[in-house]
Amino acid sequence: MTTRKVGKHRSAMGRREFLRLSGAGIAGSALLSACSGFGGEEEASGSGKVIMSHGPDPVLEGLLKKQLEDFNAQHKGEIEAIFRPMGEDYFDQLRTQFQAGGGDIDVISGDVIWPAQFGANGWIDDLSDRFTEEMQGAYLEGPLGANQYQDAVYGVPWFTDLGMLYYRADLLKQSGFSNAPATYDELFSMAEKVQSDAGVRHGHVFQGSNYEGGVVNGLEFIWAHGGDALDTEDPTQVIIDSPESAAGLETYRGTVEAGITPEAIVTFTEPECDAAFRNGDAVFMRNWPYVYGMLLAGDAEIKLNQVGVAPLPAGEGESEGFSALGGWNLFINATSDVKDEAWELIKFLTTPEAVKFRAIEGSYLSALQETYEDQEVLDQAPVYEVAGQVTDQIRPRPVSPFYGDMTLEMAEEFNNSLKGETSPEDAVATLQESMQGIIDQGTS
Amino acid sequence: MTESATGVDTKPRAPGGLVRGTLRTLRNEFTDKERRLGYILVTPAIAIILAIALFPLLYAIWLSLQEIIINQSSSFVGFQNYVDMIQDPDFHSALINTTVFTVLSVSLELVLGMAIALALNRAFKGRGIARATALAPWAFPPAIAAVMWRLMFQDQVGGGILAYLIRSSGIYTHPILGSDSALIVAAVLVDVWKTTPFMALLLLAGLQVIPQEVYEASRVDGATSWQQFWRVTLPLVRPAMLVALLFRTLDAWRVYDLLWVMGNRQLNSLSVYVYNGVKISQLDFSLGNAAAVFVFLSSIAIAFLFIKVLGTRAVD
């Protein structure tokens, strides 16, 4: 559980969770989440019935329900879209279905980290013929790039996600700070001062648990200090063992050692963070845009006018921070027998109007460039203003068909490092060996 | 043995004697018409049992001897998967966690279960209700129990009551869910809470078949209550104890749901290791299979050990 010397390729403690757990409570809610689909009657696929799936996201589900009703009304008698909600183990369920011959879901929503793995295995269709280059041109580079793998494009971006720094503008002002921190050094000193001035419980919270969100957060710290996991030129080369990466993890753990972050950060996922922040228990928080939608609703202790949002800070000696690209895409199952109908549904869900609807109603970030210039969206979903500033600083997580195994290793090592059980240098050295081992094993 | 003891046959038996004897018996079995018919008649039943019980097992072993990457090639690699598994640090942590969990939880459950069984074995008013209530925790589905206790052990949202009590009493001041060793201890406590009643019930059944006369006789001989417990109750309850310990130890050895949910997928055990290999990882299917066979074989070994050690003493 602590250090590992052999470059053996697995983590037994990893887990996979979805980045977006908007509105969900902690562990219990996963079990309690009601699993009822909507749309038409669910029967065996075929004859114009298109089954679509997505992981747990109550806010999005509400918006999707409305959109599917419109779609079904438009295509009455021809196509019927049916939504199937999936649990927190969405990825495992999908993979089981694929391995068992494909399953019956036609339109699959998928995380930005899945296309390489699903595509390389032939589980989802290459959409190059349908998703033309002209259509692709309307998208932001990052979210589109996540769907491209080896000259093919496997999905259409549905909505995108990126990490942002939320801060308590009111408290910062009280302590004499006028701007959000640009570097981690500034963040540390500001957090300490505001914590003692205003008596706030935590200075900075982020997602430090041993799961996919922890990988995202760890990578963001590494990127902020100039490190990276895979060589972008040659993604079969792991380059994580560098002083820059170690410096990133040093700062990661440093938050706990400085006392601005609670020790329990090693179990924090999104809901713990937004709960702390919305209760007024945190000065800074790294999170996804969904928290903005929650603050818009206005039912929390902390109101939107007390909050500011900024790009993630840079590490020492670096000019800017980076945020990890999140978000979801729509794929077509390779074994679907209603592919044309499935494509109709995908087109419907990704029109500028559909995207705008989700942006205004739920602060979901568009992957289309034009939405960021739409005045109506900017007025009604203020998160777009900040998001528009950081679109150049988004980075994808390592793109590899073996990301699924690599991420378990990173989740565990980043978490051990955050716990202080492994030194940053040991963590990146271990990862260098185990991740390279995975790539070598997978490509041999 | 008896022959040489009486001095009739002092020559050591030829090594082939046993085989020849067996062959002769077999021949006798099948030359008899009626016996042969009997064998023919039970053959289908035996074949079905073998197909049901043995085939999946042999298939699992066969799989564990191959290097399989899902959707890619597979090739025979002999015992390489087992070698890899034994060298895998995650397998070590799984083995250690499972052993600690099993030893701690089963021994605590045995002691507490025995105490409860002894109490419930006494005649008192409301005994029926007391027995039913004692079983309540056992009726919880493990995953639900794990979620419930995890909420009490966490110190974030709302603040779990146990996390608060433990921290303010100074026993452990770090976040419980943040440390694997603390989590194991917590999981042991939850398991004890949940399955002690089951242990008590099995022991109680054993206590109830001990005839009252034995106690009366020992009392006549002047035995104290303590002596009665050690000399009368314990030896006579041993068969029931064997069954209870066997069930619990094997259950604990294969623990999956409790640790998976309590540790929010991060706490390793042998079964968790198997699941991670077979289901989560894309590359470790074979390793997971080897571990599955290991869990199966080690469970048999544990069962065998229990029957051998506790079973013979019970006969004495």
Domain boundaries, chain A: 28-160+326-391, 164-324+400-443
Would you state the structure tokens that stand for residue A243, as one six-digit string?
């002083």
Report how far residue A433's alpha carbon sits from residue A239's, in angstroms, rounded to the nearest whole number. 10
* Element holding B175 (H helix, E strand): none
Q: A164-324+400-443 belongs to which homologous superfamily? A: Periplasmic binding protein-like II (3.40.190.10)
Question: Are the C-beta atoms of residues A329 and A109 closer than 8 Å to each other?
Answer: yes
> Considering CB atoms only, which of B87, B157, B267 is closest to A13?
B267
Interchain contact, A28 vs B268, CB within 8 Å: no
Look up residue B136 and give its DSSP letter.
H
User: Do β-strands B66-68 and B74-76 pair in parallel, antiparallel, or remain unpaired?
Assistant: antiparallel
Q: A202 touching B, CB under 8 A?
A: no
Query: Can you tell me the distance from the alpha carbon of A335 to that of A102, in angstroms, rounded to the nearest whole number?
Result: 6
Residue B185 has pLDDT above 80, yes or no: yes
- The one-character DSSP state at B74 is E
| CA A408/CA A8 separation, integer angstroms | 12
Check pLDDT > 60 for residue B1: no
Residue B176 pLDDT: 84
ipTM: 0.70
- 3-class DSSP string for chain A: CCCCCCCCCCCCCCCCCCCCCCCCCCCHHHHHCCCCCEECCCCCCECCEEEEEECCCHHHHHHHHHHHHHHHHHCCCCCEEEEEECCCCHHHHHHHHHHCCCCCCCEEEEECCCHHHHHHCCCECCCCCCCCHHHHCCECHHHHHCCEECCEECCEEEEEEECEEEEEHHHHHHCCCCCCCCEHHHHHHHHHHHHHHHCCCEEEECCCCCCHHHHHHHHHHHHHCCCCCECCCCCCCECCCCHHHHHHHHHHHHHHHCCCCCHHHHHCCHHHHHHHHHCCCEEEEEECCHHHHHHHHCCCCCCHHHEEEECCCECCCCCCCCEEEEEEEEEEECCCCCHHHHHHHHHHHCCHHHHHHHHHHHCCECCEHHHHHCHHHHHHCCHHHHHHHHHHHEECCCCCCCHHHHHHHHHHHHHHHHHCCCCHHHHHHHHHHHHHHHHHHHHC
pLDDT at res. A34: 39
Of B93, B178, B281, the CB nearest to A264: B178
Q: Do A419 and B178 touch (CB under 8 A)?
A: yes
**How distant, in Å, are the alpha carbons of A227, A315, A322, B306 from that of A185?**
18, 8, 16, 60
Question: What is chain B's alpha carbon radius of gyration, rounded to the nearest angstrom?
Answer: 26
DSSP line for B250-304: HHHHT--HHHHHHTTT----HHHHHHIIIII-SS-HHHHHHHHHHHHHHHHHHHH
Query: CB B88 to CB A441 under 8 A?
Result: no
How do strand B74-76 and strand A282-287 relate by DSSP bridges?
A: unpaired
- Kindly determine whether residue A12 and residue B87, on different chains, have CB atoms separated by under 8 Å: no
Say whether A96 and B279 touch across the interface (CB within 8 A).
yes
pLDDT (0 to 100) of residue B196: 94
Least Cα distance to A187 among A288, A312, A287, A318 occurs for A312
List domains and CATH numbers for chain B: 13-64 (no CATH), 83-315 (1.10.3720.10)
- Residue B248, helix vs strand vs coil: helix
Indicate yes or no: CB of B284 within 8 angstroms of CB of A10: yes
Dihedral pair phi/psi, residue B9, rounded to 5°: -130, 100
Q: Is A13 on the interface with B (CB under 8 A)?
A: yes
Q: Which residues of B touch A25 (CB under 8 A)?
A: 157
Residues 214-273 of A with CB under 8 A from B: 262-264, 266-268, 271-272
| Helix axes of A403-419 and A424-443: crossing angle, nearest 10 degrees | 170
Rounded distance, CA A18 to CA A216, Å? 12
Give strand pairing partners of A38.
A83
Rounded-to-integer distance, Cα A442 and Cα A421, Å: 29
Interfacial A residues in 28-57 facing B (CB < 8 Å): 28, 31
The CA distance from A303 to A315, in Å, is 30
| Closest Cα in chain A, distance from residue B84 (Å) | 8
- CA A243, CA A294: separation in Å to the nearest integer? 38
State which residue of chain B sits closest to A403, comparing Cα positions: B282
Same fold, A28-160+326-391 and A164-324+400-443: yes
- At residue B100, the pLDDT reads 96
Asked whether the beta carbons of A108 and A53 are under 8 A apart, the reply is yes
- Please report, for residues A341, B109, B302, B311, the alpha-carbon distance to residue B307 in angstroms, rounded to integers and kept in the order given: 63, 19, 9, 5
Q: Are A75 and A110 in contact (CB under 8 A)?
A: no
Enumerate the H helices of B154-276 as residue ranges. Answer: 161-168, 180-208, 212-220, 225-228, 234-253, 257-262, 270-275
Q: SS3 for B160?
A: coil
Q: Which of B70, B90, B267 sits opposite A11 (nearest CB)?
A: B90
Phi/psi at B248 (5° precision): -65, -40
Strand, helix or coil at B170? Answer: coil
Q: Does A10 contact B150 at a Cβ distance shorter than 8 Å?
A: no
Is pLDDT of B128 > 90?
no
List the single residue in B174, B263, B272 with the smallest CB-CB distance to A263: B174
What DSSP designation does B307 have?
Answer: I
pLDDT tens sequence for chain A (444 residues): 333 333 333 333 333 333 333 333 333 333 333 345 666 555 444 468 999 999 888 778 889 999 999 999 999 888 999 999 998 788 888 988 888 888 889 999 999 999 988 998 899 999 999 999 999 999 988 899 889 988 899 999 999 999 999 999 999 999 999 999 999 999 999 999 999 999 999 999 999 999 999 999 999 999 999 999 999 888 899 999 999 999 999 999 999 999 999 999 999 999 889 999 999 999 999 999 888 878 887 788 899 899 999 999 999 889 899 999 999 999 999 999 999 999 999 999 999 999 999 999 888 999 999 999 899 999 888 788 878 887 778 888 988 888 989 999 999 999 999 999 999 999 999 999 999 999 998 887
Nearest-CA neighbor of A159 among A376, A329, A306?
A329
Nearest beta carbon to residue A92 from set B156, B178, B280: B280
For B58, the token pair is: 């042999």
Give the residue among B180, B92, B96 at the shortest CA–CA distance from A421: B180
d(CA B264, CA B249): 23
Alpha-carbon distance of B104 to A88, in angstroms, equals 32
Helix (H) or strand (E) holding B117: helix B89-121
Whether the pTM exceeds 0.95: the reply is no
Facing residues of A109 across strands? A330
- Cβ A105 vs Cβ A333: under 8 Å: yes
And the tokens for B172? 């452990």
pLDDT tens per residue, range B290-310: 999 999 999 999 999 988 887
pLDDT at A298: 79
The answer to which of A139-148, A265-274, B4-13, B231-240 has the lowest mean pLDDT is B4-13
Give the C-alpha distances (Å, rounded to integers) separating A23 from A30, B157, B234: 11, 13, 55
Superfamily in which the A28-160+326-391 domain is placed by CATH: Periplasmic binding protein-like II (3.40.190.10)
Q: Which two tokens stand for residue A287?
A: 């999170």
How many whole angstroms separate alpha carbon A327 and alpha carbon A113? 9
Lowest mean pLDDT among A55-64, A387-396, B17-26, B93-102: B17-26
Q: Which of A1, A28, A268 sits opposite B147 (nearest CB)?
A: A28
CB-based contacts of B151: which residues, under 8 Å, 6+ apart?
Answer: A26, A27, A28, B160
Q: Is A56 left (phi over 0), alpha (psi -120 to 50) or beta?
A: beta
For residue B4, pLDDT over 60 is answered with no
